[in-house]
Amino acid sequence: MRKRSIMLAALILAATSSLAKAEEVTLWVRTSSGAVLQGLADKYNASHDDKVVVTQITAEQMVPKLGAAIAGGSPPDGAVLDLIYLPTFAASDSLEDVTDFVKGLPYAEALSPSHIRLATYEDRIYGLPALPDASIIAYNTELFEKAGLDPKKAPASLAEIVDYAKKIRGIGEDTYGFYFVANSGSWLIYDFLPHIWAANADVLTDDGREATIDTPAMRETIAAYRDMWSAGAVHPTSRSGNGNNAVEAFASGKVGILMTGSYIVNLLTNKYPDVKFDVAPIPGPSGGVSSFAGGDTLSLMKGISEEKKKVLLDFVEFYMQPEQQVYITKESGMPSRTDLAGEAYAQFDKRNLVAYDILANARTPYTFSSDELFVSRTGPFLNLIQGSIFGDDVDGAIAKAQDGFSKILERTNP
């Protein structure tokens, strides 16, 4: 009897110790990514003793709330952030170094290069891709045919986009050749800057510390857009509309070429099945292709315990596996690993692969002041586009942007 009691006590102690070892980690995510990340956490929690607790924060509040939590000494264990903010948080010593973990992954080479680049500060890595996306163009194949264009031949340069847009405009008064969202800095870095990158140019140096606005690629891109605008080939709501206006205009069948994102394939096929379209990479003025690598990066907060760090990195490895990558594709539109793209998209529209294939050549501005430079309604980038494309003084708009960028960078560079 005594022996039985000792064995029972040992079992209870072992069970208690096992329970005590279970960890609960907190993960903040943007509401725009909340559903899929909550789904991944649910899947993980169902098969693990450790738990990932997801808290959704509105996109606009994520950065200030996280900054305040870090400053107050009570941050979450991890956060899934818009990748463009990674340099700022890394430079402020707010994130945990995960360099060895990333480099040790057998699929490290298959992670989005831009996500890793933005997560790197002073040669150390502070995050991993979670839910990437990329910018592309969509074009209406029926309008291409009506305009005498080959629907199987996507424009291979911005010069061809101009030519195609004018021909499509010639179909009729209510048909336009081109749509881009000109009233939002967030949209413009997404679908305007890839023209520049495709020409091997940029608006910032690689380290994000100096502005390089006045380049031949920038002037050629502006000239092409001005040409389409003056010819009446650009949909009129491009100048003041938003992303919803853009999708609605394209779905109406009255826009030939739309600057958009990887989500467009599944959105159109599900919501607007009658629209005949194809997609292609964003070309440069004379050729080449690029894209904006957008989406989310998962980072651990500086000072996280080793036990909780292990759980969050285990969660990363969990969602990087094929089954979860297929789930991410279904729910979010793009898997995190390029080597699993074919498998992840096997049950979906193959046009999705166009965006995924370009992800390896995609870029994202590396900067410590993205909001001031690119997003602000009064910032130098939005003013550059509005002033140079719709205004009369291109030289003045470019010079003003260069000066505006430089002043912000001088003030905000770490």
Q: How much is the pLDDT for 335?
A: 84
Using alpha carbons, select from 341, 353, 375, 389 the residue that is nearest to residue 136: 353
Q: What percentage of the chain has pLDDT greater than the value 90?
A: 82
| Residue 20: pLDDT band with limits 50, 70, 90 | low
Query: How is residue 314 annotated by DSSP?
Result: H
The greatest distance separating any two alpha carbons of the chain, rounded to the nearest whole angstrom, comes to 96
| Span 180-207, average pLDDT | 96
Which residue ranges make up each domain of the chain? 2-133+293-361, 134-292+368-412
Measured in residues, the chain has a length of 414
Tens of pLDDT, residues 322-344 = 999 989 988 877 888 888 878 87
Q: How much is the pLDDT for 208?
A: 96
SS3 at position 132: strand
- Does pLDDT of 261 surpass 60? yes
CA–CA separation, 315 and 96 (whole Å): 16
Structure-token pair, residue 332: 């979010």
Structure-token pair, residue 221: 């891109």
Reported pTM: 0.90
Q: How much is the pLDDT for 389?
A: 97
| Residue 14: pLDDT band with limits 50, 70, 90 | very low
Domains 2-133+293-361 and 134-292+368-412 share a fold: yes
Tell me the CATH architecture of domain 2-133+293-361.
3-Layer(aba) Sandwich (3.40)
Q: Tell how many helices (H) and how many strands (E) occur in the chain.
A: 20, 12
Query: Residue 210 region, left (φ>0) first, then alpha (ψ -120 to 50), else beta?
Result: beta
Q: How much is the pLDDT for 342?
A: 80
Q: Which residue has the higher pLDDT, 14 or 172?
A: 172
Least confident of 88-97, 162-171, 240-249: 240-249
Query: How is residue 126 annotated by DSSP?
Result: -
| Span 337-365, average pLDDT | 85
Q: Which CATH number fits domain 134-292+368-412: 1.20.1630.10, 3.40.190.10, 3.50.50.60, 3.40.50.300?
A: 3.40.190.10
| Span 125-152, average pLDDT | 97
- Does pLDDT of 4 surpass 60? no
Q: How much is the pLDDT for 17?
A: 46
Mean pLDDT over the full length of the chain: 93
Backbone angles phi, psi at 56, to 5 degrees: -95, 130
| Residue 355: pLDDT band with limits 50, 70, 90 | confident
Tens of pLDDT, residues 201-220 = 999 999 999 999 999 999 99
Beta pairing, strands 24-30 & 78-82:
parallel
